[in-house]
Structure formats: C-alpha cells, structure tokens
Structure 1
C-alpha cells in the first residue's frame, strides 16, 4: 500500500492547528517503512493552550444533562460509521493490522462510545440516613474536570473510544495525546467529532515526540485525571509526575499473561487458544498469551499441536489475505529479537521462527517470523520480560501449583489463562491468581460490559463497564438538613 505524503493537524479549541514553532515529525508504514504522513510536533505552549481550552469548556459541558452529552457521543458514532472504510484503511496503513483486525478495532470503537452514551442515564449516587433528624446524606458523583488521555500504539482508535466515551459522558473534558508512532488516527477521529458538532474545547488533540510534551501534560495543575494505556515504566513515571497535584489515575499497564494448560484440558481447544491469544495483532496486546506453562505429562503432545498451528500462520503485507502483519516499530522488533537471542544462549530451543523472514516482501518493514521456543526456563529473558511481539515461549511444569507459583512470582499482574476441567483448580485459580483478569478455558477476549484492570504493577483503576465509567467520577458527600 502506498500513498502520497499528507499532513494531519492537531485540534485545539475547535480549531485545526500546527505546532506553534512549526515543527513536525513523520509517520511511516510499518510494513514498508515508507513515510506517508507528517504531524505537528507540539510544544509545551501548545499543550497549555489545549489544557486551557479544555478547562474553559468543562463547566458548560458538565452543566449539560448527561443524556445530552450522550447524544454528542452518538453523533460521533454516526460520523465514524460513515467513514468506516477510511478508518479501516488507515489502521492497516498506520498500525500494520490485517484488514479483519482493523475492522474489529473499528467496531470495538463504536461499542465503546455507544456503551458510554447509553450510560448517561445510569450515573448513580446514594442516599443514606443521617444520625440527625430532618437530614439526609447524599453521595453525588461529579466529574474530575480536565482529563488527559495517553494512548498506546497497539489500538490507536479503540483506545480513543475507550477513554473519550467515559470521560465525556461523565462531564469531563479531555486532551488526547496519541503515541508518536500512530497519531494520524487521532487526528481523523477529532475531525469526525468536529463535524458531529462537539463543542470547542471539549476534546483537544496534541501530538509530539519525546517525553517533554507528555510530562508537561501530566504534571500540569490543570490536569485533574490521567488515563494511560502503556508500559509499566511509563505508568511509574506518570504516577510520580502526577503526585504533586494528587491527580486521579487510570493506569492500564504492561503484564505477562501466563497460559496454564493442565493434563485434563481439552488440548485441541487449548492449542487453538494458545496460538490465537499469542499472535493476534502480531502479539501486541497487553493481555496476550506471553508464556505457556504446560504440565509435563502432556507437554510433548501439546507442543506439537501448537507448532502445527503456528506454522500455518500466514504473514505478510497486512492489506492482503494474511493472518499477521508487522510490528509497529523497528525498535520493538529489535527488542523482541534481543530477548529471543539471549534466551537461546541460555538454552532455549527454537521450534520455529526466531528471525526476520526472507524474501523481497520483507526487505523493508518491521517483520519477525511467528516464533515458538521450547525448553524455556523461568529465569530466561523471554520468560521474565514482557515480549509484546510474535514469540511464544513454553515452559514445562510439574503441576498446577508450580504454574501458579510462576504466575504469581511477578511484580506485575494483568491477566492469566487456565485450561482444565477440574472445577476445584479453576476456583482456586480465580481466587489466587494475582491478576486483574482470568480467562478460563477460552482464548483472548474482552467485552465492554466487563472490566479491564491490572493488579500489582500492572496499574490502578481500570476501564470498561460500569466500573470503568465510575473511574472518571469523583464522589462528593452532601449533608443536607431540610428542617
């Protein structure tokens, strides 16, 4: 896929703007490394303009009935629907998703926004009896004010819907800052919001490279809540930077999901799920299967079943009939290969992959073959570090207890999988796996009415469902004496 160089501006106070100093940066196609777009490289002065715009607009936006705020979101949904094919093509070009994956992300975005709009009549408070006569205690739910949405590169459109929907329906305004590898989708989203009649200042967009812009946005006293989807390291930095203002936080950070397969599992189902849950979006999903822990009594059979499926994965240009496209950035592939090669030196065996694919199609772009490593031990880099790429390490374990120990012996805790027919082990895992999400006998999934959160160093707060909406609201107690 090729296209001519295009410029996509930022969006502040209802106006399309470039960086105040005229600086720009480029965006490339991860499948070909072709530069196809330029984006403003905004300054801290631009960030302040966006925050001030959001601050100015927030009180009037909060004053609107929630149902009216919801109608604005539904208008954005209709605008997105009218440009479905444009967004799908953009996701393939910008992020490297296959067309079916891009279509799925687009549909998820509609669901996030629609669910938030429908929540407008479900923002609840509480009334409690007072200890005094003629008095009630009310617990009101109120917005934070100006919120900041920091998006990762793996789902550049869906993460916007996941943050903008709950923030806006609850009466907050938002400044968006997309990842520098995938900022174009955000610009086009703001164009749709603008055409749908969203009031100026309610949603603003700034883009940029480096940490200066993001750090300024996070540490500004105008920012009352920060919502980040990103790495644990980024979350830790934001946690510290926001501490002076004691800002609210919704941090969805990294993890390393274990995929536990016990000897009584449905192995066909588990093998299918293991492959789908690892190589979806080229392994660039925070809740992906990062580490198979298979009971040694069935390990030979299960490894063969996984390998058979992985070798059938079609990978190539994402706008063609393939199952997997490239990684988003070259740096991510270098990191993935480094983890693989270090693990091989420590004794891991390559069952398939572990290199850049050959052929003219792969001379440019951020490619890595679907990879399976066996004879992995828990101290190898592919077992200790989040891979976030198309590499599946397999560790053999003696029993469920060993698998649970490896799962919990981590500082992060985002998600985990378990395949077994033993209801006692399932219930034990539900109660004792130190993660935010447990998948039981099923592959990677996630629904808007659920909840997506991490435990330990995998984050605070969370998104999706009623609890996700709640995270964009503060509680205000009112002691009301009506005598």
Structure 2
C-alpha cells in the first residue's frame, strides 16, 4: 500500500501511519531512521485477528544499495577496533535486549502469533545469541605452523569478510537475526539485515537498542522490502561478501545461484524433515513428552520439529494412546493468555497449505485420528487457526512423510527394527535434525555414524545450545551457526609465509 507517512523527517523509529491507522516502523540505515525512497509501505497484520497492526517501508534496490554503501563505509574502522572492545559494545547490546524483554515479546506475539511465553523465550535466546560471541571476542584464534624451510613461520591469520547480508525467516525473526548479528559483528564484519516482510517489526526495533549500545553508524543496518527487489539486490551486489540466510530450501537454492555470479560466500540454514524414532527399549513417557513439546512449539512452525514419527511395533500402541491423549489436551487460543499452548498460524497461506497437506495424506491412505480441521468458536472466527492433527497408517511414500510440513501435524508409521528406522530416516533429501529414543549405547553410537543429519537429539526434546553447532546436511543447508564453528564461518583466512633468515 501507499502510506501517508511524513517523509520530511526520519528522526524517530516509529510514527503513526494515518492511512492504515496503525504504527509505522522505519528502516535503520547508517545510524538513521528512514523510509523507502518510493514512500511505499507494507502492511503487517495480526495472525490472531487479521487486523493490520503495523506498517513498514517497502524498500527497493535503491534502498538496499544505500544500506550496503553505509555498511561498506563503516567496515574498516569497525574491523580495526580491538575485538575486546567490539565484544563490550555487543555485550551492552545484549543487555539492552534483555531490558526490553516484555516490549519485544509483545511485538513478536502481535506480528507472528506465537504464545507470549515463547516470545519471552525468544527474546532471551536473542540476547544469548549476541552475548555468547561477544564474550568470546578475546578467544578468536589463528595458527602458527612449522615450515618446511629453515628460519620461516607459516601464520594463518583470520580476517572478516567485510559486508555481510543476513536474511531471517519469519518463525523466529528476532532470534534468527541475532544469531547472525552476534558472530558477524564480533569478528569484525558489518551487516545489513533483511527480516521477512510478514514479521519485520521486532527486528526493526533493534535499531534503537544498537544505537544506545554504541554500535557505530553503518555497522548494523535493518531494511525491509520484497525478496525479488530489495532481497535480490542485497544478494547480487558486489559490495556483499557473505550472505547468511535462514528459510526454505527453495529460497536458499535461489540465493546460492544468485550469489554465484560474484562468488559471494553463502551460509544457509534451510528446511527440515526431522524423523522421530522410538525403539522398543525407549522411555515411552519421555518420548511422548518430548514429542508433544517439540512438534507443537510455535504452532509447529520450527524447522527442527519432528515431522515424521517412526515408532517400534513393541511400543506403538502405548505411544499412540498416550500421545493422542496428551495432544488432545493442548489448548488453542489467545497467544497472550498464559494458559494457551498453541496460537494461530502466521498467515492464511500457511493455514491453507496445512489443510491441503492433511487432505492429500488422507487421500493417499493415512488415517485421521485427531484434529484435521480448523477449530470452531467465536475466538476462531478471525485469524489463522488449525487444530493439532495426528495421522496414522502412514508410509514413507506419502507426501506428508516427505515434504516439509510447517504446522501441528504428526504423521505416524509403525516400524519393526532399528535398521528399518535408520533406512527410513535417511530416505529423505533433508538432513537438519533427528530424534532418537533408546538406551542401547551400541545403537546410539551407530546413529552417530549412520544418521545423515546435522543435529540429533537423543532421549530429549529439541533445543540447541549456544556453544553447540546448528548445521544442516543435504538440502537442509550449508555452513552452520553457533559456537566456535559458527564464529569461524564469518572469518576468511590469510596465510603468511614469514622468512626471517
């Protein structure tokens, strides 16, 4: 839409969009608040009520170029700053995120629909994603290697790429942004971040906190706009030296192709199809608890959620009975209500896709045992809702067992052996996360070698930690994030052969 925003001044992050009768948030470029050069805006609607709550700038290639040039002008001085000083600034940034916890969480609920409790957790994790690399600033290391020649040292020096572009997904916009910003800025890079158009507001709110923390102008830029306009310019511009993106596999593949022209470095965390394996010796109670939490967190809109269940015949009936009972007790409703377990889907498109997926599974032979429809009642007259759904009698040939399903749908298949579970789990183009419930140490060690996934949860629900490494295999991505290995992804290497004979 064309907003009626006053374009003569951009001194504040937020003003009132009189045309849409809602708050308008601006982009943060070069230490300044600004609107799109075109003056156009994007509506951001509540998934709960479908009411437009915010507008943001609909930036174009022109705005992307401005942000990239601003980052480029700031990079040299930021990289020259001692790492410990960069880390101190970023630690303050993390503290300010924590201090604004309730405000940021409320925005996340408004624009994304997740429960308030989960939104508070996302803010906490976001601060951690900044603070962990900030505290590691003194531990950035290179190497000195012995030379084959006398009186010579070989030194591997690590340096920042320069201008990085971060593209975040809509399901955890704040956390996924901070997951990239923390290590990128700690290692001396500068960054232009483009949050998703459907959930951009909490990310834009980081601009004022970055300024308050003392992050110099241009070091962190936050822009909004379409993927085929602004997004493409950010990826293909020669200024950009690294692109880090979290999102769908199809989008990641397109970014990879676009980045190839300039041989821009690419780090991708993409789609998943996590298998959930429960063997005959596994703890059924623990498996049910983990499945309920992991499948239904964020209304099932998590790339590491269990998306296909392989349950051993010996415990199948017990698991299914207890799982149906537990899932049926989950409460859908107002995401700001502390009693709510599941909020709305993010938008109508996602809800429609979920409905089509379930119907196709039934058409292909799956049996619907719970849910499978949109809920009824006054609360659900508006918004994007879908009931927790359980399907049985599934086979690995069904689309619901092969394609990513971003929602509260649990397709379940009966298995008869560990070998069958391994074969079925690996029979997928995705390799992000997997779940395994067994106390047989030999099987666990085999899974370490044979499961083709970057992240495996053994006898526990999902949830990676900052010091670990979040990494997808196959079509689930390349590069990885978190911990010291994630930090290394933002550093290039220079080799010096220093002869002092």
In the alignment, which of 10, 15, 40 is matched to residue 23 of structure 1?
40
Where 1:109 maps in the other structure, the secondary structure is helix
Alignment map for 1:118-129 (pairs within 5 Å): 118-129=135-146
Corresponding position of 2:241: 224
Q: Using the alignment, how far apart are the partners of 1:282 and 1:39 within structure 2? A: 25
Q: Using the alignment, how far apart are the partners of 1:397 and 1:294 within structure 2? A: 6
> Is residue 2:285 matched to residue 1:268?
yes
Alignment map for 1:128-167 (pairs within 5 Å): 128-167=145-184
Q: CA deviation at 1:206?
A: 1.2
Corresponding position of 2:471: 453
Where 1:211 maps in the other structure, the secondary structure is helix
Where 1:198 maps in the other structure, the secondary structure is coil
The TM-score, its normalising length taken from structure 1, stands at 0.98
> Is residue 2:459 matched to residue 1:441?
yes
Q: CA deviation at 1:4?
A: 5.9
Where 1:242 maps in the other structure, the secondary structure is helix
Corresponding position of 2:376: 358
In the alignment, which of 211, 224, 232 is matched to residue 228 of structure 2?
211
Q: Using the alignment, how far apart are the partners of 2:65 and 2:21 within structure 1? A: 32
Corresponding position of 1:202: 219
Where 1:328 maps in the other structure, the secondary structure is coil
Corresponding position of 2:311: 294
**Structure 1 segments (4+ residues) deviating >6 Å:** none
Where 2:173 maps in the other structure, the secondary structure is coil
In the alignment, which of 46, 53, 59 is matched to residue 36 of structure 1?
53
Q: Using the alignment, how far apart are the partners of 1:191 and 1:355 within structure 2? A: 42
Where 1:26 maps in the other structure, the secondary structure is strand
Q: Using the alignment, how far apart are the partners of 1:315 and 1:467 within structure 2? A: 39
Mark the runs of 5 or more structure 1 residues left unpaired by the alignment.
none
On the 8 A contact 1:340/1:381 being kept in 2, the answer is no
Q: Using the alignment, how far apart are the partners of 2:255 and 2:218 within structure 1? A: 24
Alignment map for 1:5-154 (pairs within 5 Å): 5-154=22-171
Where 2:260 maps in the other structure, the secondary structure is coil
Mark the runs of 5 or more structure 2 residues left unpaired by the alignment.
1-19
> Is residue 2:351 matched to residue 1:341?
no
Q: CA deviation at 1:482?
A: 2.3
Q: Using the alignment, how far apart are the partners of 1:477 and 1:309 within structure 2? A: 57
Alignment map for 1:387-406 (pairs within 5 Å): 387-406=405-424
Corresponding position of 1:407: 425
Residues 323-349 of structure 1: CA deviation (Å, up to 9, x unaligned): 111111211111111111001111111
On the 8 A contact 1:152/1:229 being kept in 2, the answer is yes
Q: Using the alignment, how far apart are the partners of 2:261 and 2:222 within structure 1? A: 24
RMSD: 1.1
In the alignment, which of 232, 236, 248 is matched to residue 265 of structure 2?
248
Q: CA deviation at 1:319?
A: 0.3
Q: CA deviation at 1:210?
A: 4.2
Q: CA deviation at 1:49?
A: 0.5
Q: CA deviation at 1:400?
A: 1.3
